[in-house]
Chains A and B, each alone.
Chain A
Amino acid sequence: MSNKELIIETENLQKKYVTDTVETTALAGVSLRIAKGEFVAIMGPSGCGKSTLLNILGLLDNPTSGSLRFSGQEIAGASERQRAKIRKQNLGFVFQSFNLIDELTVEENIGLPLAYLGVSKSETERRVTEAMERMGIAHRRSHFPQQLSGGQQQRVAIARATVSNPSLILADEPTGNLDSVHGREVMALLSELNEQGTTVVMVTHSPSDAEYAHRIVNLFDGQIVTENMNIRKHATELL
């Protein structure tokens, strides 16, 4: 494990929110190492800081203190511009509430990251078609998000998250708004992507979803309380 190349390495990561009267500590010194190709689930009760951690790992937010290295590069305190650059080249996001843009079709939503990367039109079309086929939603390409079921919407979101071939996918309760059948479908897709080499970091409440991960990180009050290897998963891998 430790000899593998690290994609994310945090050191004593802290995040504090200050309002007029109260200072809330969301993360109180989190040190976490995630290797390339790993599938990590972050669990914990509401308010434990898991979403905050995911946002920081996804470069959507800056930590108050501590160190955050992405592929060995220190980016704690980087500017929004730098973070945006790394985001669009390396990261893909999957959200609980899908967060598709209502005004864009399935196809356009999926193509959006490529547009921001400046990928050519023909190349975009090719990769979008490929992503849609992989997710089994090619027949819905010209539909708008509201015309799709929740499971389909999340598949569009995953297609969008993967279309630019990111090295890391961050998923925030990806099954939270889905029924169990669609939830299992989505988890199977994430597993598949992970098996193809993409690192996945997922925040979840659901123990059954966590089962898909190699490693489960338990957070409580902004600190890592336990880190467990997923025996079953490793066992299957070992088999």
Chain B
Amino acid sequence: MFRNYFKTAYRNLFRHKGFTVINIAGLALGLTACLLIGLFVHDELQYDKFLPEGERVYRVYNDISAQEAGSVLAVVPPMFGTTLEESIPEVDKVVRILMLQFDANNLVEVGDKSIYEKGRFFADPEFFEIFQLPFKYGSPEKALDDPSSVVISDAFSERVFGDIDPVGKKVSLDKQPFIVRGVFSTTERFHLPVNFVLPMAAAELPAERMKSWGWQQFYTYVKLKEGADSQSAQAKFRGIVAKQIDEDTNQPYKYLPFLQPLNEVYLYSAGFKFDQSIKGNITYVKALSVIAIFILLIACFNFVNLATAKSLQRAKEVGVRKAIGASRSQLMLQFLSETVLLTLISVIFSAALTSLLLPSLNAFTGKEMDFNVFTNPSLLLLLIGLTLVVGILAGLYPAMVLSGFQPVKVLKSAVVVDSTVGRIQWLRHGLIVVQFALSIFLIISASVVYKQVGYLHNKDLGFNREQIMFFQMRGDNMFTNHETFKSELLKGAGIKDVSMGYGFPGDATAGDGVIVPRNGEQVRHATTLLMVDFNYINTLDIKLVAGRPFSKDFKTDADQAFMINETAVRELGFETPEKALGQTLLWPTWDNQDSLREGKIIGVVKDFHFKSLYDKVDPTVLQIYPGAYVKVAVKMDTENVAGSIAHIQGVWDKFSPDYPMEYIFMDDNFEKMYKAEDKLKSLLTIFTAIAIFVACLGLFGLAAYAAERRKKEIGIRKVLGAETSSIVMLLSKDFLKLVVVAALIAFPVAWYAMQTWLQDFAYRIDIPVWIFLAAGIVAALLAFVTISVQAIKAATSDPVRNLRVD
């Protein structure tokens, strides 16, 4: 019997080549999009899953929104770790990792080889007990016990030592000697960008600071005892934290600590501050999954529509089979086999296409995904499952309609008038509406993402980031003689200005409090501090709204002057920039927390975005503070950039010959902030195109069917003198109405979805109305062109032949 089904199926598919090609192309394309997205999503979900006992590991994060609005910090004070270990019975082990700039370069020297490596971690010795990374050489036991030990990644080892076992070898890190105790492997997906681990002791942090409840500087992970309840551990810990008193304010800390399961760290930490882990974004994962489902739905609807449209052609067959004695279930089985066969062919095509496209997706996403049905039996199983699910999903309704035909109604007459036809028509129109609503939704979403991403890249950030070379200072000589270093740099022909400091746009900034004396009281405000020099404002082209910039002409500017931004004017309570001028600020200096620097506000700068546009501009205080100078920004002429770089290299070599020079350009650095959005934009564009193409493919088939069905009508109209254009309109009108309905459905949904997405950005575009109109018009135009191809064909065919058909 099945042989018979498949034979009929095969011959049917072959006979109606047009329908078959449209169906297979649509389904294969849709499935390919789904498979690619599926692989991507699957990969995103794999982070940290490889770690043994990882389900017992939690990251501790700190919600301090009660203190600073919207602040969820990935870093916590050192006492969190200590307390968790000592006072919470559920906790088995704790590791603290010191927050440094993980993407900063560290000089690594072995023999006469000297290179920069990123990803330096200072961690408690429990690091490898909590993160049980596989070791290639050495062993994790006691690997971090000795302050002179270092454990390195296999990639680090390869680059620095080559293909040997480096355990026991000496390595100098930023001019300090260490001994390699082990090499761990980094092939799996791990959320920490760790490249080499040093014992916390090597950081030489003062013991006193490690007892702080306020110093938010440590990534902290706990491993709970087997079977322990994380909620109860979290509750107990919150109880202890709530009792800690902030010495500055004499109030309890307004902390709300959380235990975040390890398998959520990668995807569910989008808004966390000071988080340097490798991050995914669950919103994008979900959005892509939804798009995959959309595309698959559109492709399945094509099938349902084309199959039901075609059903009348097969009514006779159904009648005959029923008259002969086929039962309805046998017929349903037959039609389902047909769909499954069709789906199987599509799945085979899409598997091939996926293999073909995966390298590009890998290159684009920086992943190493694998799609090999021959080596991965679960993939094969998945494909078989997909075939059955899609085949049955798409085939069920047409099978029900087809097998429901009454033989007596279809056997005799050439024209089938069946009560189900009206219902099918309705359903078919409904499905087209859904398809186009989804397509229009995707067009709008893609357009909004395009606009927002363009805005992120092009918004005036309030400073000039073009032609600015940016690097970290290295070597004692450079730090000690930074003024000479700067003036040497300034001698270059193409060098326009040079600024040193800590707190450049796109780079790390310090968060610290300043005190505003008011009515005899001292009010503390959380602000961002930018430690700058006299050239900062000019180098970055920052605009002033009141007062003046720092100037060497004023002796007091060096240690008794502050500049603030507009946000700080508001937050610190000075009504206008003008009124802020001359006000006093106090700041506990970093060298000595007990000594307060007292100074006047001399100028107010226009708000400028030194962080990404995800974040609101913080209240910001600028001051001259040479003790914190670590970074240099050099503004260059557009002319002869190579010459300027050569000059800087020359000066560098004079001051720090032991260190290779490395630099970035500030604008590049900024572009990188929106990498995730750039990728979302590209993916959205591609998948929107696929969705629309598949939807149009279906429309093309349906239009062909409609033209076929109305051949006689068209013939009669032509004989009566109808123009081609009026016939094209006749055929297009029905479909275009559906597109209009689809647009009306898609508009509010798309508006809501995109508005929600934009909420993530502190700075965002207003969704312009024209995007909606354009999306509707684009969809309608595409639909019209698609239908017109068929309609013109029908309208220009010989009417006599069409009239003879019956």
Contact with A along B317-347 (1 / 0, CB 8 A): 1011111111110100000000000000000
B324 touches A116 (CB 8 A): yes
Given the complex of chains A and B, what is the CA–CA distance between A80 and B326 in angstroms? 11
Question: What are 28 A-B contacts defined by CB distance under 8 Å?
Answer: A60-B323, A60-B407, A60-B408, A81-B327, A81-B328, A84-B322, A88-B326, A93-B323, A93-B324, A95-B412, A99-B316, A99-B319, A101-B317, A101-B320, A101-B321, A103-B7, A103-B8, A103-B11, A103-B15, A104-B4, A112-B324, A113-B324, A113-B325, A115-B1, A115-B4, A116-B325, A116-B326, A117-B325
Contact with B along A211-231 (1 / 0, CB 8 A): 000000000000000000000
Given the complex of chains A and B, what is the CA–CA distance between A93 and B316 in angstroms? 14
Residue A125 at the chain B interface, CB threshold 8 Å: no
Partner of B412, one of A51, A89, A103: A51
What residues of A have a CB within 8 angstroms of the CB of B8 in the complex? 101, 103-104
Given the complex of chains A and B, what is the CA–CA distance between A162 and B323 in angstroms? 13
Partner of A89, one of B320, B323, B325, B326: B325
Residue from the set B4, B316, B323, B327 with the largest chain A CB neighbour count within 10 Å: B323
Residue B411 at the chain A interface, CB threshold 8 Å: yes
B419 to chain A, nearest CB (A): 10
Residue B12 at the chain A interface, CB threshold 8 Å: yes
What residues of B have a CB within 8 angstroms of the CB of A113 in the complex? 324-325
A132 to chain B, nearest CB (A): 17
Residue A108 at the chain B interface, CB threshold 8 Å: yes
Residue A87 at the chain B interface, CB threshold 8 Å: yes
A75 to chain B, nearest CB (A): 15
A104 touches B324 (CB 8 A): no
Contact with A along B293-326 (1 / 0, CB 8 A): 0000000000000000000000011011111111
Residue from the set A113, A116, A160 with the largest chain B CB neighbour count within 10 Å: A116
Given the complex of chains A and B, what is the CA–CA distance between A55 and B410 in angstroms? 12
Residue A100 at the chain B interface, CB threshold 8 Å: yes
List B1-54 residues whose CB lies under 8 Å from chain A: 1, 4, 7-8, 11-12, 15
Contacts A81-B327, A108-B4 aside, 9 further interface pairs with beta carbons under 8 A come to: A51-B412, A87-B323, A101-B321, A103-B7, A104-B7, A112-B321, A112-B324, A115-B4, A172-B412
Given the complex of chains A and B, what is the CA–CA distance between A84 and B406 in angstroms? 12
Residue A61 at the chain B interface, CB threshold 8 Å: yes
A100 touches B1 (CB 8 A): no
What residues of B have a CB within 8 angstroms of the CB of A96 in the complex? 412
A160 touches B324 (CB 8 A): yes
Q: Which residues in B have some Cβ–Cβ distance to A below 8 Å? A: 1, 4, 7-8, 11-12, 15, 316-317, 319-328, 330, 406-408, 411-412
A44 to chain B, nearest CB (A): 16
What residues of B have a CB within 8 angstroms of the CB of A102 in the complex? 15, 317
Instruction: State whether A55 and B325 are in contact (beta carbons under 8 Å apart), knowing that A99-B320, A103-B11, A103-B12 are contacts in the complex.
Output: no
Given the complex of chains A and B, what is the CA–CA distance between A103 and B313 in angstroms? 12
Given the complex of chains A and B, what is the CA–CA distance between A100 and B319 in angstroms? 10
B408 touches A61 (CB 8 A): yes
A84 touches B327 (CB 8 A): yes
Partner of B324, one of A61, A85, A88: A88
A112 touches B4 (CB 8 A): yes
B8 to chain A, nearest CB (A): 5
Partner of B320, one of A55, A80, A100: A100
What residues of A have a CB within 8 angstroms of the CB of B1 in the complex? 115
Given the complex of chains A and B, what is the CA–CA distance between A89 and B324 in angstroms? 9
Residue A58 at the chain B interface, CB threshold 8 Å: yes
Given the complex of chains A and B, what is the CA–CA distance between A51 and B406 in angstroms? 15
List A23-67 residues whose CB lies under 8 Å from chain B: 51, 55, 58, 60-61
Interface of A is mostly: helix
Residue from the set B320, B325, B407 with the largest chain A CB neighbour count within 10 Å: B325
Partner of A80, one of B4, B11, B324, B328: B328
Given the complex of chains A and B, what is the CA–CA distance between A114 and B674 in angstroms? 68
Counting from the closest, the 4 A-B pairs by CB-CB distance are A88-B325, A103-B11, A60-B408, A61-B408
What residues of B have a CB within 8 angstroms of the CB of A58 in the complex? 323
B335 to chain A, nearest CB (A): 13
Partner of A84, one of B11, B15, B326, B412: B326
- Chain B: which residue is nearest A95 at the CB level? B411
What residues of B have a CB within 8 angstroms of the CB of A87 in the complex? 323-325
What residues of A have a CB within 8 angstroms of the CB of B326 in the complex? 84, 88, 116
A226 to chain B, nearest CB (A): 25
Given the complex of chains A and B, what is the CA–CA distance between A55 and B11 in angstroms? 30
Given the complex of chains A and B, what is the CA–CA distance between A81 and B322 in angstroms? 10
What residues of A have a CB within 8 angstroms of the CB of B316 in the complex? 99
B337 to chain A, nearest CB (A): 13
Partner of A116, one of B328, B330, B411: B330
Given the complex of chains A and B, what is the CA–CA distance between A102 and B313 in angstroms? 11
B411 touches A99 (CB 8 A): yes
Given the complex of chains A and B, what is the CA–CA distance between A103 and B8 in angstroms? 6
Given the complex of chains A and B, what is the CA–CA distance between A103 and B321 in angstroms? 13
B544 to chain A, nearest CB (A): 82
- Chain A: which residue is nearest B414 at the CB level? A97
- Chain B: which residue is nearest A93 at the CB level? B323
What residues of B have a CB within 8 angstroms of the CB of A112 in the complex? 4, 321, 324
What residues of B have a CB within 8 angstroms of the CB of A103 in the complex? 7-8, 11-12, 15, 317
What residues of A have a CB within 8 angstroms of the CB of B15 in the complex? 102-103
- Chain A: which residue is nearest B317 at the CB level? A101
- Chain B: which residue is nearest A170 at the CB level? B323
Contact with B along A151-170 (1 / 0, CB 8 A): 00000000010000000000
Given the complex of chains A and B, what is the CA–CA distance between A117 and B321 in angstroms? 12
B7 touches A108 (CB 8 A): yes
- Chain A: which residue is nearest B1 at the CB level? A115
What residues of A have a CB within 8 angstroms of the CB of B407 in the complex? 60
What residues of A have a CB within 8 angstroms of the CB of B330 in the complex? 116
B676 to chain A, nearest CB (A): 52
What residues of B have a CB within 8 angstroms of the CB of A172 in the complex? 412
Instruction: State whether A55 and B408 are in contact (beta carbons under 8 Å apart), knowing that A104-B7, A108-B7, A116-B330 are contacts in the complex.
Output: yes
What residues of B have a CB within 8 angstroms of the CB of A115 in the complex? 1, 4
B583 to chain A, nearest CB (A): 86
What residues of B have a CB within 8 angstroms of the CB of A93 in the complex? 323-324
List A144-192 residues whose CB lies under 8 Å from chain B: 160, 172
B464 to chain A, nearest CB (A): 72
What residues of B have a CB within 8 angstroms of the CB of A100 in the complex? 320
Given the complex of chains A and B, what is the CA–CA distance between A164 and B330 in angstroms? 18
Given the complex of chains A and B, what is the CA–CA distance between A58 and B407 in angstroms? 11
What residues of B have a CB within 8 angstroms of the CB of A104 in the complex? 4, 7-8, 11
Residue from the set B11, B328, B406, B408 with the largest chain A CB neighbour count within 10 Å: B408
Given the complex of chains A and B, what is the CA–CA distance between A58 and B15 in angstroms? 32
What residues of B have a CB within 8 angstroms of the CB of A101 in the complex? 8, 317, 320-321
Given the complex of chains A and B, what is the CA–CA distance between A117 and B324 in angstroms? 10
Given the complex of chains A and B, what is the CA–CA distance between A117 and B326 in angstroms? 9
Given the complex of chains A and B, what is the CA–CA distance between A85 and B328 in angstroms? 11
Given the complex of chains A and B, what is the CA–CA distance between A89 and B326 in angstroms? 11
Contact with B along A66-108 (1 / 0, CB 8 A): 0000000000000011001101110001011001111110001
What residues of A have a CB within 8 angstroms of the CB of B7 in the complex? 103-104, 108
What residues of B have a CB within 8 angstroms of the CB of A99 in the complex? 316, 319-320, 323, 411
What residues of A have a CB within 8 angstroms of the CB of B323 in the complex? 58, 60, 87, 93, 99
What residues of A have a CB within 8 angstroms of the CB of B327 in the complex? 81, 84, 116
- Chain A: which residue is nearest B324 at the CB level? A113
- Chain A: which residue is nearest B325 at the CB level? A88
Given the complex of chains A and B, what is the CA–CA distance between A115 and B7 in angstroms? 13
What residues of A have a CB within 8 angstroms of the CB of B325 in the complex? 84-85, 87-89, 113, 116-117
- Chain B: which residue is nearest A113 at the CB level? B324
Given the complex of chains A and B, what is the CA–CA distance between A172 and B413 in angstroms? 12
What residues of A have a CB within 8 angstroms of the CB of B322 in the complex? 60, 84
- Chain B: which residue is nearest A161 at the CB level? B324
- Chain B: which residue is nearest A109 at the CB level? B320
Given the complex of chains A and B, what is the CA–CA distance between A112 and B331 in angstroms? 13
B99 to chain A, nearest CB (A): 71
A135 to chain B, nearest CB (A): 17
